[in-house]
Amino acid sequence: MARMTTPRENAHTARSNIVFVFALALAFYVAWLVRDVLVLLYVSALFAVVLLPAIRAVCNLRIGRWRPFPGSSAIFLLLVALVAFLAAFCSLAFPPVIRDLQGFSGEMPNRLPALLAKFHQIPFAGRIDTNEVIFKLQDVAAQAAAYVLRSARNWAAALAEVFVCLVLTLYFLLEGDRAYRWTLSFLPGNHRRRLDAALGRAATRMGNWLLGQTGLMLIFGLTSTIVFLSLHLRYAYALGVLTGLLNIVPVLGAAISLVLALLVAAIDSWGRVLGVAIFFALYLSIENYFLVPYIMKNRLNLSALGIFVALLLGSSLDGIVGAMAAIPTAVLVTVLLDEYLVRKDHGPEPAG
């Protein structure tokens, strides 16, 4: 026979439930206030998990019996390689662009009469007041310059956020395993082992995603560089490298690369614009229908709709950084849902 609860016990349970609800509400409120910091921590931890297989591969390199990069030295090597790549890219890509912009601004007063003469040759263009057009163009240029100045603060904040994310990722690579074990220690034994196994599967899939995406980035970068050089496009090497790097963000990265390449091609001729458009249309068709299914086969087990929705949510939450973290997050959510809501048996998952 079940024991009857006393009124005092009922009152104590009610008070405990009320305190728990208020504590939970307070925790959610504090989390909402510091949501930017929490998102930054989450993205940094996620990048650390994604980069961990590459770090382990560098650590396992051997020359005979000698391991040149044991432990944390592999992380230092990765950081040095990243800084050297960014420095080389900026030193090679930016000077030609700045030089062309300076030349264009210096030649614009001399080119303006010829442009106006060609403009008057267009039918019905003689009825348009050129002085008014020039005044409007100057007004648009002034507004654009003011917008650039106003957005400089936002760009500086974004760069600072990327730097902080990089530093936090390094800390997670160095101390992440200890923090992970400490967090799991709060769970009971069975739940701890089950969650650890699920997160291990998610980490494996994230590593597979990084390997596959790196292959796609290399293919896209090399192919676009060859095409840009054959079209005699300005800044062909810089655009090719940027196209490959931006491909780490599916869909959005290719769209940004296409816009940049079209703008650069439009400076010289419409024929180059057409060539760039045809190349992107052909390559993206080949990538979506052949390369992605072949390289990513059984790596993610995510539908195209799920990837697209994850990208939209990630970009709306935290811009480019959120879009980069969207696919690994979708992998993590899929594995956890499969473990706790879908699977009926908890046997070993098929290799993928």
Tell which residue, 171, 135, 233, 207, has the closest CA to residue 45.
171
pLDDT of 352: 44
Distances in Å between the Cα of 85 and the Cα atoms of 68, 89, 189, 245, 324 are: 21, 6, 45, 12, 19
The Cα–Cα gap between 333 and 341 comes to 11
C-beta atoms surrounding 254 within 10 Å? 19
Residue segments in the chain with a per-residue pLDDT below the cut of 50: 1, 346-348, 350-352
pLDDT of 223: 93
Q: Which residues pair with 63 in a beta bridge?
A: 66
Tokens of 38: 């929490």
CA dihedral 245, 247, 252, 256 (to 10 degrees): 50
**Biggest alpha carbon distance in the chain?**
102
Tell which residue, 97, 38, 47, has the closest CA to residue 207.
47
pLDDT of 286: 86
pLDDT of 126: 56
The Cα–Cα gap between 205 and 214 comes to 14
Phi first, then psi: what are they for 4, rounded to 5°?
-80, 135
pLDDT digits (tens, 9 = 90+) for 189-232: 888 888 888 888 888 888 777 778 888 889 999 999 999 999 88
- Among the residues of 231-269, which ranges form H helices? 236-246, 252-268
- Going from N- to C-terminal start, the domains of the chain cover 38-61+68-117+128-187, 195-343
Tell which residue, 238, 288, 286, has the closest CA to residue 261.
238
pLDDT of 90: 76
pLDDT of 227: 92
Residue type, 36: D
Q: Ramachandran region of residue 319, left (φ > 0), alpha (ψ -120 to 50) or beta?
A: left
Instruction: Return the ∠ at Cα 52 (arms to 243 and 240), rounded to 5°.
Output: 10
Run of H or E including 296? none
- Among the residues of 185-232, which ranges form H helices? 189-230
The Cα–Cα gap between 320 and 252 comes to 9
pLDDT of 276: 92
The Cα–Cα gap between 40 and 76 comes to 22
What one-character DSSP code corresponds to residue 125?
G
